[in-house]
Chains A and B, each alone.
Chain A
Amino acid sequence: MLKINNIHARVEEKAILNGINLEIKPGEVHAIMGPNGSGKSTLASVLAGREDFEVTEGSIEFLGKDLLEMSPEDRAREGVFLAFQYPVEIPGVSTVNFMKTALNKIREYRGQDTLDAVSFLSLMKEKIELVEIDKALLNRSLNEGFSGGEKKRNEIFQMAMLEPKLAILDETDSGLDIDALRIVANGVNKLRTKDNATIVVTHYQRLLEYIVPDYVHVLYKGKIVKSGTKELALELEAKGYDWIKSEMEVA
């Protein structure tokens, strides 16, 4: 589904990614871990097409298409979804209104009819139950005055609505207490199918107890330095990132 081939990227003059290689197949969950500043969030931003990051080398293929050639909105319409670490506030625009606009833009791109109010509302109702989100929240201005947990839950609700093929969760666990974490993880798990894939970007192993990855990759200084199964995450938790650092220094 996704083939990342030797990606180098920089912001302004600073090189952040130094040759990332990664292949993700449908149905898989990959966790990207690493210490602060290792380039985890940059990788998420590059996949989503944020302009601040310049890709200087390498290629990314998504469902057989050149991802880097696509605008950010077309990537979203092709099925790439980013759950933001810091979801943005849009005053005066409700989540309902925002989702209706987004969904219909995506459907339009795919040559589908736009949804009428009735079908939209019934779809929304179904997803509200799936991700256990308070309906009242969805009629309020998007993310305005939301708690950290509400913002993250709202991201997962949006993910449920848009049914992406590739979901990237950027530090979705940051700022969540254990109950909120469980609800968010539950939502993500319910959305898993054999046809979609998930990238979980996280600093801690904690989230991976709830969203169990098929593969774990450790990022350090803009490169994947270690890959393994979910046990790698536990090992990391036990030994700390210094383990990776010292191992790298030795090498």
Chain B
Amino acid sequence: MSKDNQVLEEFTSKEYEHGWTTDLESDSAPKGLSEDTVRFISAKKNEPEWLLEWRLKAYRHWTTMKEPQWPNVTYPTINYQDIIYYSAPKQKVQPKNLSEVDPELIKTFEKLGISLTEQKRLTGVAVDAVIDSVSVATTFKDKLGELGIIFCSFSEAVKEHPELVKKYLGSVVPPNDNYFAALNSAVFSDGSFCYIPKGVRCPMELSTYFRINAANTGQFERTLIVAEDASYVSYLEGCTAPMRDENQLHAAVVELYAMKDAEIKYSTVQNWYPGNKEGKGGIYNFVTKRGLCAGDHSKISWTQVETGSAITWKYPSCILKGDYSNGEFYSVAVTNNYQQADTGSKMIHIGKHTRSRIVSKGISAGKSQNSYRGQVHILKRAENARNFSQCDSLLMGDQCGAHTFPYIDVENKSAHVEHEATTSKIGEDQIFYCLQRGIDEEAAVALIVNGYAKEVLKQLPMEFAVEAQKLLALTLEGSVG
């Protein structure tokens, strides 16, 4: 059966399909945030002293900072004392391998279409599954270990590879970088750690799947990927959350570190609960993602498909420090109903002959607001830097908004910076043309939207591309007419 047809089959009346909860006994910190909360989390994870100090420093800095007001989004003031900062599914013993993991947890992920049982996985994707604040299982660890690749939960990395964590943690996103990064640095509970040694090409896609389950809980995970000289890794991130009436906070930090000739490809399909049709509930997704092309000829590529969250605030960025380094950002951001997104990218050109490319496709429907915000900064010594940015907006209906905020700073005369922007509307003519060929309206919208987003979708690994296509269709269901 064709890919498109599978997409069409998904067109039933269902709305957010991951909105269920699992009954898991959990072990939580008391509500609220103080130095004690930070100590509690650190103690729960049996962390070394240096990490506790690192957290406390971040926390103290955070208390001096103000929540950013510049994004083009509005939401009620967040009461940071009303959030639970740590919640872990209770497991009687620390599982040593998959057979010891609570079957309820395995079932939870199976329901999401993610099998943690290695024998059952044919697709060649290694998964680190994170539920609420902790990582519950990582697959294919042994196989990857044979190549010297480290792929494990962040907590495990702190125990097993403290020298690596200490060296790179905060090296790309410093703890005092911004309000939400500081908050994350203080209370982050888990996440994924990945290290690719020199010259190794990671033979399978690495993937982290994040799931918020517990109520009133914030999720603060950290991902750190380090690619040594001439190595390659492709990394996928997926996320979902139950439908809940209250808003939940997700403030993650992702750091990518690429050395000489290394390449990191990072793909996200973000499907956090977006709230209901009246705009009630949903995730606040305030995320800092940044990659450092530290070595010459290194390359970092971000691809994101953003369909979820009540509010999105994220700007995956590349710092192009190495000469001839290359940064890419491909994004499809969809907003429907009352969703708000302020998202884009930053490309900081420091090295000579650095190149960057931004392709952003915004789709707004319902009463949503969708903003692209991007910065291209060519520094003084960045001879012959090149940037190409393309920002397209697609509007559906007449009650949504699309906004573009490009910032271009050029300090070197040899730079070439191109910016293209378009705004279009799904035309009645296009819809009628499809109808006349027997394609109903929902399918027509799916077809047109997927065509519009194609340039970005084709950057995704195959398995994710299909999922992303379905998601786009589902998110926009019922938004025409």
| Residue ranges of A at the interface with B (Cβ–Cβ < 8 Å) | 48-51, 71-73, 75-77, 81-82, 84, 87-93, 97-106, 109, 114, 116-117, 120, 141, 158, 162
Pick the contact of A87 from B2, B4, B433 — CB < 8 Å? B433
Instruction: Find out whether the CB atom of B453 lies under 8 angstroms from the CB atom of A105.
Output: no
Closest 5 CB pairs of A and B: A92-B451, A93-B451, A92-B454, A102-B437, A76-B438
Instruction: Find out whether the CB atom of B452 lies under 8 angstroms from the CB atom of A73.
Output: no
Instruction: Find out whether the CB atom of A88 lies under 8 angstroms from the CB atom of B433.
Output: yes
With A91-B452, A92-B452, A93-B448 as contacts: A48 and B439 at CB distance below 8 Å: no
Instruction: Find out whether the CB atom of B438 lies under 8 angstroms from the CB atom of A109.
Output: yes
Instruction: Find out whether the CB atom of B432 lies under 8 angstroms from the CB atom of A72.
Output: yes
Within 8 A of A (CB), among B1-15: 1-2, 4-5, 8
Complex Cα distance A235/B441, Å? 44
Which residue of A89, A97, A162 has the most chain B CB atoms within 10 A of its CB atom? A97
With A73-B438, A101-B447, A105-B437 already in contact, 10 other A-B pairs whose C-beta atoms are closer than 8 Å: A49-B435, A72-B432, A92-B450, A98-B437, A100-B4, A100-B5, A105-B8, A120-B2, A141-B451, A158-B437
- The chain B residue with its CB closest to the CB of A141 is B451
Q: List 22 A-B contacts (CB under 8 A).
A: A51-B432, A73-B440, A75-B436, A76-B437, A84-B433, A87-B433, A88-B429, A88-B433, A90-B448, A92-B455, A93-B448, A99-B437, A100-B5, A101-B5, A102-B437, A102-B439, A105-B438, A105-B439, A106-B438, A117-B2, A158-B437, A162-B437
Instruction: Find out whether the CB atom of B436 lies under 8 angstroms from the CB atom of A48.
Output: yes
- The chain B residue with its CB closest to the CB of A91 is B451
With A90-B447, A91-B451, A93-B450 as contacts: A101 and B4 at CB distance below 8 Å: yes
| Residue ranges of B at the interface with A (Cβ–Cβ < 8 Å) | 1-2, 4-5, 8, 427-430, 432-441, 443, 447-448, 450-455
List of A residues within 8 angstroms of B8 by Cβ: 101, 105
List of A residues within 8 angstroms of B454 by Cβ: 92
Instruction: Find out whether the CB atom of A90 lies under 8 angstroms from the CB atom of B433.
Output: yes
List of A residues within 8 angstroms of B430 by Cβ: 88-90
Instruction: Find out whether the CB atom of A114 lies under 8 angstroms from the CB atom of B438.
Output: no
Complex Cα distance A104/B448, Å? 17
Complex Cα distance A89/B441, Å? 17
Instruction: Find out whether the CB atom of B1 lies under 8 angstroms from the CB atom of A73.
Output: no
List of A residues within 8 angstroms of B441 by Cβ: 73
Complex Cα distance A93/B434, Å? 12
List of A residues within 8 angstroms of B436 by Cβ: 48-49, 72-73, 75-76, 81-82, 84
List of A residues within 8 angstroms of B5 by Cβ: 100-101, 104, 114
Complex Cα distance A243/B401, Å? 54
Complex Cα distance A170/B447, Å? 25
Complex Cα distance A75/B437, Å? 9
Which residue of A50, A99, A109, A162 has the most chain B CB atoms within 10 A of its CB atom? A50
Instruction: Find out whether the CB atom of B451 lies under 8 angstroms from the CB atom of A90.
Output: yes
- The chain B residue with its CB closest to the CB of A93 is B451
Complex Cα distance A162/B439, Å? 12
Instruction: Find out whether the CB atom of B433 lies under 8 angstroms from the CB atom of A100.
Output: no
Complex Cα distance A73/B450, Å? 20
Instruction: Find out whether the CB atom of B435 lies under 8 angstroms from the CB atom of A71.
Output: yes
List of A residues within 8 angstroms of B1 by Cβ: 114, 116
Report the minimal beta-carbon distance from A144 to chain B, rounded to whole angstroms. 10
List of A residues within 8 angstroms of B453 by Cβ: 92
- The chain A residue with its CB closest to the CB of B453 is A92
Complex Cα distance A49/B441, Å? 14
Instruction: Find out whether the CB atom of A88 lies under 8 angstroms from the CB atom of B443.
Output: no
- The chain B residue with its CB closest to the CB of A105 is B438
Complex Cα distance A158/B441, Å? 19
Instruction: Find out whether the CB atom of B435 lies under 8 angstroms from the CB atom of A101.
Output: no
Instruction: Find out whether the CB atom of B2 lies under 8 angstroms from the CB atom of A162.
Output: no
Report the minimal beta-carbon distance from A106 to chain B, rounded to whole angstroms. 4
Report the minimal beta-carbon distance from A206 to chain B, rounded to whole angstroms. 26
Complex Cα distance A150/B290, Å? 46
List of B residues within 8 angstroms of A104 by Cβ: 2, 5
List of A residues within 8 angstroms of B437 by Cβ: 76, 98-99, 102, 105, 158, 162
Report the minimal beta-carbon distance from B98 to chain A, rounded to whole angstroms. 36
Complex Cα distance A123/B454, Å? 26
List of B residues within 8 angstroms of A120 by Cβ: 2
Complex Cα distance A71/B8, Å? 19
- The chain A residue with its CB closest to the CB of B432 is A50
List of A residues within 8 angstroms of B443 by Cβ: 101, 105
Pick the contact of B439 from A81, A101, A114, A117 — CB < 8 Å? A101
Which residue of A81, A88, A100, A120 has the most chain B CB atoms within 10 A of its CB atom? A88
Complex Cα distance A81/B433, Å? 11
Complex Cα distance A77/B438, Å? 5
List of A residues within 8 angstroms of B447 by Cβ: 90, 93, 97-98, 101
Complex Cα distance A77/B435, Å? 10
List of B residues within 8 angstroms of A102 by Cβ: 434, 437-439
Complex Cα distance A221/B1, Å? 49
List of B residues within 8 angstroms of A103 by Cβ: 438
Instruction: Find out whether the CB atom of A73 lies under 8 angstroms from the CB atom of B435.
Output: yes
Pick the contact of B2 from A76, A81, A100, A141 — CB < 8 Å? A100
Report the minimal beta-carbon distance from B57 to chain A, rounded to whole angstroms. 48
List of A residues within 8 angstroms of B4 by Cβ: 97, 100-101
- The chain A residue with its CB closest to the CB of B452 is A92
List of A residues within 8 angstroms of B452 by Cβ: 91-92
Complex Cα distance A208/B1, Å? 41
List of A residues within 8 angstroms of B432 by Cβ: 50-51, 72, 88
Complex Cα distance A101/B437, Å? 9
List of B residues within 8 angstroms of A72 by Cβ: 432, 435-436
List of A residues within 8 angstroms of B427 by Cβ: 88
Complex Cα distance A49/B432, Å? 9
- The chain B residue with its CB closest to the CB of A143 is B433
Complex Cα distance A87/B455, Å? 23
List of B residues within 8 angstroms of A93 by Cβ: 447-448, 450-451
Which residue of A48, A73, A104, A141 has the most chain B CB atoms within 10 A of its CB atom? A73
- The chain B residue with its CB closest to the CB of A113 is B1
Report the minimal beta-carbon distance from A92 to chain B, rounded to whole angstroms. 3
Complex Cα distance A109/B8, Å? 14
Complex Cα distance A31/B370, Å? 50
- The chain A residue with its CB closest to the CB of B392 is A91
Report the minimal beta-carbon distance from A87 to chain B, rounded to whole angstroms. 7
